Structure 1
């Protein structure tokens, strides 16, 4: 068995071991003498205690029977006498202060919430520290417990609720599949069915991925108030299983991941300091006006793989998200661009929806938007309004792959640098379609379309001759190298593989002047080129012949 440094465990009753810098240090519990007529050792304890009320805890009322005292002893002693006795034993044994602190810290982190850590005292006044104030209320609690009738107990249990929200039996310690580091606990595929009962104010990250957790009670995270990252992906959490105050204690939480659960709505009362919220692959069926009302600091929101559409998402749902920069709504049921996008948005992902048109008002208030991803929708070029995005000055990347485009859309943003049109039905690149762009398009991907020689004109790339760095024209129907390639002074990568090219014309790459080309990669494989008949100087402007890929070729 391998343990972390400073780990504490008990190999047998009344023996405690500590892992210290590669050494194992074990101590056997020393019991103080008891001066009472009838001492006895309760079940599960190492040291005898007095059965008389005058010598033990100061309980009011009648003395308890030994069997009744055992239950109270297990609840009360870890908070009072046992902690003080154990502390004095450590001092008597001459153990170093640093080693004691490491042992106490490690023990606290590995105990369930009910098993409280050792009592902490002030060095100057001998009083309990602020962190341990709750440890000194046990006498009143024990007295209340001793005088509680069975009827009162059942009434209190009914008030607490049933199922997820009942008090229930205390959870066992963390399973062996969990790993524990300085400020992080990770329980991945650990077969947990409930949130583990952890009491560690110093814990910052809790991963509970791939378990069978189905509910989050109101007090689920009461023992970890300083969590900053909570990962609950791939569980069975339902909306009805989340208590209205489940996240109330997590005032410092900044990252919350709920992907792969069974939520039908956004959980209530989310921590207001959240910076990142992911609820992908659930069953969200609506976003109300107040669903995200408190998340004014949120930067990243991901709601992919749900059942959202313009009919069940309020136009005001995103209004409170004044700081939002990244929004992912892919794999939903939108037919139009969602309304009411925040002005702060920089990247929008709405791929794999059913979007059919881009309206003039779609991006009216998103002047900071930089990336729009719309692949796998149903957009046709004549359903993109001319004023939808042409005047945007920050929009640099658009992905319209796998839509229903027949030619490269006109009225593209003048600031565009990166255009992806893979997998459409494009037959033509209109002349001057890139002419208005400044500083100019740099990356153009047109793979898997229907481009032929007649669909590319001498002025199709006008405006991009000095800016284009990469062009993908593979898997089309071209029979020769397109016009305009030789005029591209910045081109580094050209893909023409898997077309119908038979003849290579030198001037189409090098131009009439044969000036040096900057091409570093030219792909011409899987065409109909006769490699053996090619002159070794077919492209004299290309510095390295290793840059040209010609094999294999198709059989005629």
Structure 2
């Protein structure tokens, strides 16, 4: 029992000592904080609801060291004050209205109005229960203030650091909520400003783009106008030159005619004088021979004169003969009507000639007889122009039977002969071996025999398009003599397969507009130097191309298979292929790794006007072309998105994706966002798709050199 009593007394003593210590420590702290706030706010006195706070207020209130404010003194009883019918004890402090603090001092009521400081900030806020506004930027987050953490003495935060006052704690919470709301509002405003700024930048870019486009169009129009003016001036000058040339030719012909007339007159005069001399000599000789005997002859008969010999010709006669020779040479230059001469070229195009005109111009190099009605070429047609190097006999009516085998025999310098658009049924015979270029397009040639090209060892270019040739009427040995042939055109004929026996020297072969259905394995075995093959507008299916038809050709760089019957990109293409044209087929798929075996790699791929859709392009379809692809055309297909792998083509300059069903352009579909410095795209076409231009990411075209080279309009997208 005693032990319990001792424990209770000890506990009571400890409790009393603790309360006394708390009161002695708490009052100076509150007095210091109130004193600091009083000093900063020029006489502002907080409302204290009790807890023996009158003595504390009086000490801090009297300690103010600043000019006395104007007080309103309300008389009252000694020691007590009466304010609005309410009796106030001495030393009582209250606030009748916001920003006004009153004190009962020895029966007098002293009131002070709070003077707010001048704030220099953009955002100001008046907390609940406070009379002065504060700066939002200077308010510390109340969430950072803990129970024991020091609080800065900031006058903009009322009674900060006194956590035991419920009113001040509520104010801080409300201030914190406002700050959070203000932060959100400012963040929202910043986002809105950023969005507006981006929109303005986009509008500025669009305006710049339109301005550049208008400037380019104006420059193009100016350039076209300038080109048109230059062309008109060129043609005007050419017309004036032709007119002057025609006048000069007329004057020359007139002078030649006058010279010829004078020469004929001189010749007639000389002939007349010679005739008179001859008559005189004959008369004298006859008189002598009929002379009587000498005895009866008269003494005054003169001696017989000696006739003049060749050695006695005068200088005057020699000059006349030379002049006559020169005049005769000029006369040989007379041209038929409709023909013109310029330097060493004679043109009789569309002159309505029915035969080759007889010309005697040894220095003539070129003769144009195109567009006449010539039917035959006789043996001596070119005897006066043996130095001829080029002759054009196109669009006449010359048949094979109308050409004499010796017609071209003496043309030892002939290198080019054009006979397009005639009625030839076979290769002309007797063509000189110096010929380098022979064109016999648009004729009726239906057979090439073994000896048709015999002797043409120098022939480089041969064109026989638009005839009746097929693999059945072309002898495989016919091309053997053509060991220098590099360029061969056999389009618009009736071939069902590539002709056999092509020379090894061949580099370019054109077989468009035929009936070719397959490419056999041995079709190009002899043509080891082939570089270009054109097979467009035929009937080739990918299944009819032999795997080894051209796979190992090391020089084959260009293949044109446009407008055939392909349903996918052919496999086993040449390793050396650089240029592939597959326009106008029914291609639905690009198999994976179909270009991976090529060295160094494909550079030009044209797949326009096919049936490629979203499933037709695999992720590995363009594998092997990422470092070499320069021009890619995928327009006029059924693509729903940008094919995978295009953003990895670091050498791509021209890309066509127009006229598809593309709806979305991603940030990394065309350009690699990790390689912003590589501006390799020169031209990009995306018009006639389903794209909303406003939804294109700003960095989607970061690899394009100029925004003016991007064509986005028009689109089939409807808002």
Is TM-score (shorter-chain normalized) higher than 0.5?
Answer: yes
Structure 1 length-normalised TM: 0.74
Shift of the 51–520 alpha-carbon distance from structure 1 to 2, 3 Å rule, reads: farther
2:700 to 507, 532, 538: 538
Aligned to 1:525: 687
Shift of the 13–526 alpha-carbon distance from structure 1 to 2, 3 Å rule, reads: closer
Where does 1:329-340 land on structure 2 (aligned, <5 Å)? 329-340=490-501
> Is the radius of gyration larger for structure 1 or structure 2?
2
Aligned to 1:477: 638
Contact residue 666 and residue 697 of structure 2 kept, 8 A: no
Q: CA deviation at 1:252?
A: 1.4
**2:494 and 2:667 mapped to 1: Cα distance?**
50
Tell which has more relative contact order, 1 or 2 (C-alpha 8 A, sep 6+): 1
Where does 1:43-82 land on structure 2 (aligned, <5 Å)? none
Q: CA deviation at 1:240?
A: 1.2
Q: CA deviation at 1:105?
A: 5.7
1:89 to 303, 320, 323: 320
CA deviations on 1:120-143 (whole Å, 9 max, x unpaired) are xxxxxxxxxxxxxxxxxxxxxxxx
CA deviations on 1:518-553 (whole Å, 9 max, x unpaired) are 111010011111224444443233342112110111
SS in 2 for 1:546: helix
Q: CA deviation at 1:212?
A: 0.6
2:417 to 247, 256, 263: 256
**1:263 and 1:345 mapped to 2: Cα distance?**
25
**2:604 and 2:535 mapped to 1: Cα distance?**
17
Shift of the 395–7 alpha-carbon distance from structure 1 to 2, 3 Å rule, reads: farther
Q: CA deviation at 1:9?
A: 2.3
**1:452 and 1:35 mapped to 2: Cα distance?**
98
**1:36 and 1:16 mapped to 2: Cα distance?**
20
Aligned to 1:496: 657
Where does 1:345-424 land on structure 2 (aligned, <5 Å)? 345-424=506-585
* Stretch moving more, 403-412 or 221-230: 221-230
Say how many residue pairs are matched.
Answer: 441
Structure 2 length-normalised TM: 0.58
Contact residue 14 and residue 28 of structure 1 kept, 8 A: no
1:184 to 345, 351, 375: 345
What stretches of structure 1 move > 6 A for 4+ residues in a row? 36-39, 49-52, 84-87, 90-93
CA deviations on 1:196-228 (whole Å, 9 max, x unpaired) are 011122111111010110111111112221111
Q: CA deviation at 1:5?
A: 7.5
Aligned to 2:402: 241
SS in 2 for 1:455: coil
Aligned to 2:444: 283
Residue 511 of structure 2 is aligned to residue 341 of structure 1: no
Residue 709 of structure 2 is aligned to residue 547 of structure 1: yes
CA deviations on 1:246-288 (whole Å, 9 max, x unpaired) are 1112121110000010101111111111100000010100000
SS in 1 for 2:669: helix
Q: CA deviation at 1:470?
A: 0.2
Residue 446 of structure 2 is aligned to residue 215 of structure 1: no
SS in 2 for 1:348: strand
Q: CA deviation at 1:12?
A: 9.6
Aligned to 1:295: 456
CA deviations on 1:407-462 (whole Å, 9 max, x unpaired) are 11111111111000000110011111111111111000010000112110111011
Q: CA deviation at 1:16?
A: 5.1
Where does 1:302-313 land on structure 2 (aligned, <5 Å)? 302-313=463-474
Contact residue 510 and residue 517 of structure 1 kept, 8 A: no
Q: As a proportion of its length, which structure holds more helix?
A: 2
